[in-house]
Structure 1
Amino acid sequence: MTDVSFPHPDYIANLPIWVKVDDVCQGQSQVKKKGETYLSRHNKQDTSVEAQQQYKTYLEHAVFYGVTGKTLGSLVGAAYAKLPDFQRPNELDYLDVNANGQGMSVYQLTQTALRYLLKHYRCALYVDFPQVEPSKTRQDDKQKNAYAMMHVLPAVAVINWDTVMVGNQQKLSLVVIKETVTVRENDDFEMTTSDQYRVLRLENLNGQYVFTVQLYKSTDDSLFSPQEKYTPRDYNGNTWNYIPFTFIGAIDNSIALDNPPLLELVDLNLAHYQDSADFQESVYFVGQPQFSMPDVTEDMYELIKKDGLYIGCKNAFPTKIEMVQAQPNTLSQTAMDKKWEQMKEIGARLIEQGSATKTATQANNDDAVQHSVLSLCTVNISSAFTQALGWIARFMLPNSDSLNSEDLMFSIDQDFSKPQFDPERAKQLWEACLSNRYPYKGWYEYQRTGVVPDYSWEEVQALLEEEQVNAPLGGYQPNGVSNGSGQSQ
């Protein structure tokens, strides 16, 4: 029988890449912990104690700059500068505070998904529900205290998958999820961890496809024993003809895999780290000034060995003594600087903030490069979570089929650019206010936030009428502005 821990070939091929990106995003401590994985040792054939000690010093002096991790944080922050639009029935309000059963809101789960996408190019979203009898009344719901939960899974957690054609639709037929279970011992302090596997299947039972779930738990002989299989049912007691699970990708939400968006930046970050190690090593060995006696003879040298040599006024020696220092070796430094600039171009905007002068066109182009990847990620996350809300509604509500797209929706705002105050636009708005074509409230909001309020035509007309009604005789004007009669209000 095939072991449940058997991984998909694509999983095997991509796992080293995912681990590398994770390590780099965690920063210097994690990168240095991996030793020769990311910083090769010179003269690997030399396994002596001295060679090992030299590498230890080489590793200690190297400096890893956390460019990738900071860039990841800045991209996530840009996507959530505005609160996402979340529409749901009142019965699903619990998702605002606890969407995964561990106290994380749906907003936090989508941020986690975005981090996974930028690092791994994929993550997964799965909805589950406790094994309880179908509800007949609302009172049954309260007594069960059961809620549908959504779980965001990193790519490394989904080790195997497969699909099947049902009619002309391709559906997931197998998903194997690796989980870690923690158990505390009797004294409540020690704890042990073990792996288990959750297998989601779409099985053909008598010509009908049915979603089933089965756990495989570890045994004493290091194998995994299958537990009892169960069949989830929705609110009305019906089985599912698909698995409430979806992959989320940086391009689309298919099962296809590609390189992570941050991989190119990760590789440059590691190359910069290696150049830094060479540079710091050269500084360590030849950076300090040394005393030199270019004219010393063999007899003088023997005398120095016998009597010693003092540098200073206490002793004198009949030869020329000078202080020398190695000429700076700029090769490693130049290589570092070059990679630093390349990392900026790829996406490390935080590093160059305020350090370079750019035209408006250049800045907009930089943002477009960044946000092309970020926009696709957020669109795919919004689509996946909106789909998951439909699954949750099917578990939690008797009339989920009657809900439309406006009732169940999660959408991350796509406008990532920070608002910039434009004096010319402010002047145009002010002139429109003076001619009673735009409300003063809109001009005030722009002055305060740098964003033109998103008023509809009806709202603009209503605000203008309100300002006219509340205005003093002669028309509403702010202090110091003529009302047209030669008087100032």
Structure 2
Amino acid sequence: MPVQSTNPDYEAHIAEWEMMDDALEGECAVKRNERNLPKPSGMVEAEKLDAAGNKYLYQNYTDRAQYEHWVRDSLRSMMGLVSRLIPEIELPTGLKGLEDNATADGFGLKQLFFRVVRQAISHGRVPLVVNIDESGDPYFSTYATRNAINWDTADQGGRQDLVLSVFREFRKKGGDRYSHDCDTVFREFFMQGNVCYTSVRNEGGELVEEEKPLGSTGTDNRLVKGLPYLPVIYCGSTDNSPDVDEVPLLTMARAALKSYQLSADYFTALHQTSHPQPWVAGMDETVELSVTGPSAAWDLGPKGSCGYLEFQGAGIEAVRTAMEDQKNAALEAGAKVMDVGGTESGEARKTRQNDQHATLHSIVVTVAEALEQGLRYAAEWKGYDPAQVVFTVNPEFIIPAVDAQVLAELQKAVMAGTVSADTYWMYLTTGKLPERAYDEEIKVMTIEGQAGRRGVGLED
């Protein structure tokens, strides 16, 4: 089979991923693809008679349609919540540089975390690869979901592990530095014996970069360390197995697309209602009518008559109601709180927010686990103890409010020596009280008291 062969699950889900690509890019991308707005049968027949002359019919139909950017706005709102999270990172000394330089384009782990979360929300799948650069330093590469075309698992020492991952890449052609023309190549990672190998092939299957153990660096292909597994992680929306996960925003994207299709009929009907079609009858053949409008007068002759064929628009209200139903369907997807004109109770809004946070919770936890696994791969590759790696995120999205009365009582308790200053400070900055037993609280107050005495010279 050729190198561009795809996994059956890829073929089953590529249409969903392309839909999400269009939904996130916006109205221009949606309108570029005719599959998003099928032609009415009348326009199809009209183009059969004169394709060039009647092309304007579908163009006008598309131009009047309106695509709502619910998906893009929802993703931005969700990422606004995620941006408040601060990962807890612990790395071996030799890998500290990854905190500020972890990606192929030179960004740190926190930025990588945001990128992976964003793609997990929008597409439900983030291919993540740990690699080694020419100087022997590890870094992460990510791929667009649609470019991870093939993968396979097999028994490896009694476990089902990845044995193949193929990614589509685009390499800029040489010559004009202003050109953006690219060649398509395919990077593959595969197990050969007990070592992970990599190579790059063109669309004809010819080798562009020779097969070599992953981690071979420099002109002499010096091997950093052979890996007995593929350092590839398919981060999903619910887990990190190679299987394809659900797309969290897919329901909203489908509702937005259906609303777009309905809007084409709705706004076309409104246009026809406000622009009735004039008709004439019984005119002398010598009479020519070429101008209409409020400033034009027709001489129809002694036997001529005229009028308007007015579009009644009986179905307009039904279409508008259907569009509103799609908006409500998008709201029920739980991806974003939108203004629905006061028809939603505060309790319903809170429930949808909780649904959104639950979705984000699972995604954030899954992404943190994927990055931690990737960092452990890098640690093992470089000869460090993987157990020294920590990458965790507390998915707390709601910032609790600080009650002024509680804060005042805590201040009195600190002055009376019954509560520690640490407890007061934690509540002031987070709106939460520390979760610890009172004997632990006494220990904290004891430590604070000793530090205070040292500060004024009573000890030492």
1:55 corresponds to which residue? Answer: 58
**Aligned partners of 1:292 and 1:233: how far apart in 2?**
75
- Cα gap change, 1:435 to 1:128, in 2 (>3 Å): same
Secondary structure at 1:452 match in 2: coil
Please say if residues 65 and 263 of structure 2, whose CA atoms lie closer than 8 Å, have aligned partners that are also in contact.
yes
Correspondence 1:196-275 to 2 at 5 A: 196-204=185-193, 209-218=194-203, 222-225=204-207, 227-232=209-214, 238-275=225-262
Picking from 411, 416, 432, the partner of 2:392 is 411
Name whichever of 347-356 and 97-106 sits farther off.
347-356
2:445 corresponds to which residue? Answer: 461
Give the partner amino acid of 1:68: V
Alpha carbon RMSD of aligned pairs, Å? 4.2
The answer as to 2:75 corresponding to 1:67 is no
**Aligned partners of 2:340 and 2:427: how far apart in 1?**
25
Picking from 373, 378, 383, the partner of 1:392 is 378
Please say if residues 399 and 431 of structure 2, whose CA atoms lie closer than 8 Å, have aligned partners that are also in contact.
no
For structure 1, the residue ranges without an aligned partner over 5 or more in a row are: 132-144, 313-320, 471-489
Please say if residues 127 and 151 of structure 1, whose CA atoms lie closer than 8 Å, have aligned partners that are also in contact.
yes
1:117 corresponds to which residue? Answer: 120
**What is the CA distance between 1:412 and its match in structure 2?**
2.3
Please say if residues 368 and 392 of structure 2, whose CA atoms lie closer than 8 Å, have aligned partners that are also in contact.
yes
Secondary structure at 2:143 match in 1: strand
Give the partner amino acid of 1:217: N
1:12 corresponds to which residue? Answer: 11
Please say if residues 103 and 141 of structure 2, whose CA atoms lie closer than 8 Å, have aligned partners that are also in contact.
yes
Name whichever of 11-20 and 342-351 sits farther off.
342-351
**What is the CA distance between 1:22 and its match in structure 2?**
1.1
1:148 corresponds to which residue? Answer: 138
Name whichever of 193-202 and 326-335 sits farther off.
326-335
Picking from 128, 132, 141, the partner of 2:131 is 128
Give the TM-score of the pair, scaled to structure 1. Answer: 0.76
Please say if residues 272 and 311 of structure 2, whose CA atoms lie closer than 8 Å, have aligned partners that are also in contact.
no
- Cα gap change, 1:327 to 1:171, in 2 (>3 Å): closer
Name whichever of 450-459 and 409-418 sits farther off.
450-459
Correspondence 1:271-282 to 2 at 5 A: 271-282=258-269
- Cα gap change, 1:272 to 1:418, in 2 (>3 Å): farther
**What is the CA distance between 1:169 and its match in structure 2?**
0.9
Secondary structure at 1:149 match in 2: strand
The answer as to 2:30 corresponding to 1:26 is no
Give the partner amino acid of 2:46: D
Give the partner amino acid of 2:37: L
Please say if residues 446 and 453 of structure 1, whose CA atoms lie closer than 8 Å, have aligned partners that are also in contact.
yes
1:183 corresponds to which residue? Answer: 173
**Aligned partners of 1:23 and 1:182: how far apart in 2?**
24
**Aligned partners of 1:37 and 1:309: how far apart in 2?**
37
For structure 2, the residue ranges without an aligned partner over 5 or more in a row are: 217-221, 297-306, 455-460
Q: Deviations over 1:133-181 (max 9, x none)?
A: xxxxxxxxxxxx4311111223222211111212321111111121111
Please say if residues 212 and 230 of structure 1, whose CA atoms lie closer than 8 Å, have aligned partners that are also in contact.
yes
**Aligned partners of 1:389 and 1:466: how far apart in 2?**
40
**What is the CA distance between 1:354 and its match in structure 2?**
9.1
Please say if residues 124 and 247 of structure 1, whose CA atoms lie closer than 8 Å, have aligned partners that are also in contact.
yes
Give the partner amino acid of 1:285: Q
Picking from 15, 36, 39, the partner of 2:37 is 39
Aligned residues: 433
Give the TM-score of the pair, scaled to structure 2. Answer: 0.80
Give the partner amino acid of 1:387: Q
- Cα gap change, 1:432 to 1:336, in 2 (>3 Å): farther
**Aligned partners of 1:281 and 1:309: how far apart in 2?**
21
Picking from 403, 420, 432, the partner of 2:401 is 420
**Aligned partners of 1:229 and 1:309: how far apart in 2?**
73
Please say if residues 238 and 245 of structure 2, whose CA atoms lie closer than 8 Å, have aligned partners that are also in contact.
no
Please say if residues 367 and 417 of structure 1, whose CA atoms lie closer than 8 Å, have aligned partners that are also in contact.
no
**Aligned partners of 2:82 and 2:270: how far apart in 1?**
42
Q: Deviations over 1:425-446 (max 9, x none)?
A: 5576467557653357755775
**Aligned partners of 1:274 and 1:196: how far apart in 2?**
36
Picking from 163, 184, 191, the partner of 1:195 is 184
